Amino acid sequence: VDTLFDDDAQMILAYLLSIGRSPRDLTDIVLTHAHRSHLGGVAALKRMSNARVHCHDAEAAIVAGREQARPVRLLPIRPLVLYPFRVLSYLHRPPHEPCEVDHTIGEDDSVGTLKVLHVPGHTPGHVAFMWRERILIVGDAILTWPSFGPGWPGFNLDEAEYQRSLRRLVDIEPEIVGPGHGPPMCHATPERLATLLQ
């Protein structure tokens, strides 16, 4: 799920090697959405593995390089640690290496054992993935870096739609949440998620 920021996918390759696997063991790559920090290594991994790339239809042209992602706003300035991400997103820098999407996915589709949930708001085609009815991979719908919260301030393209998606994710009451930025949530997860709606 997602291929991180760098074009060469070195972090993912290093992890695969550390568990005794190679890129050839990859059969599918699924993207939560088409922001640079989530699709950077997709083209490299696809070349090395011949894996099928999946994302929502609303994100596919961005992944393929035919459209640019809608930029986030330049405000708010705080937290300062996020401002470089904000500026780079606004300027579409650095561009990612384009990669054709093999299959578009949407609500209630499955990729292997992952069930797809369409949770728009951060981007129009943002998706989350449920695994075994207890693990939820949420992309940028919920983050734990630089602090726990409902996405980064000002990064959601449609805040009202995002709030509906957030409520849906909270109502699932998953045991474990894998965010797009930061460590996973593994303890008292439903209770912690509920605080995001207050």
Task: For 8-20, write each residue's pLDDT tens digit.
Answer: 999 999 999 999 9
The proportion of the chain whose per-residue pLDDT surpasses 70, expressed as a percent, equals 99
Average per-residue pLDDT in the chain? 96
pLDDT at 50: 86
**Backbone torsion region of residue 99, taken as left when φ is above 0, otherwise alpha when ψ lies between -120 and 50, otherwise beta:** beta
Instruction: Return the residue matching tokens 């990669």.
Output: 99
Which stretches of 19-153 are DSSP H helices?
Answer: 36-39, 42-49, 57-63, 83-91
pLDDT at 169: 98
- The answer to whether residue 152 scores a pLDDT higher than 90 is yes
Bridge partners of residue 103, in order along the sequence: 54
Q: Write out pLDDT tens, residues 3-48.
A: 999 999 999 999 999 999 999 999 999 999 999 999 999 999 999 9
- The answer to whether residue 198 scores a pLDDT higher than 90 is no
Q: At 99, is the secondary structure helix, strand, or coil?
A: coil
Rounded Cα gap, residues 186 and 69, in angstroms: 31
- The answer to whether residue 61 scores a pLDDT higher than 90 is yes
Specify whether the CB–CB gap between 20 and 43 falls below 8 A. no
Q: At 88, is the secondary structure helix, strand, or coil?
A: helix
- Type and span of the H or E element at 114: strand 114-118
Specify whether the CB–CB gap between 3 and 39 falls below 8 A. yes
Q: Write out pLDDT tens, residues 79-137.
A: 999 999 999 999 989 999 999 999 999 999 999 999 999 999 999 999 999 999 899 99
Amino acid sitting at position 181: H
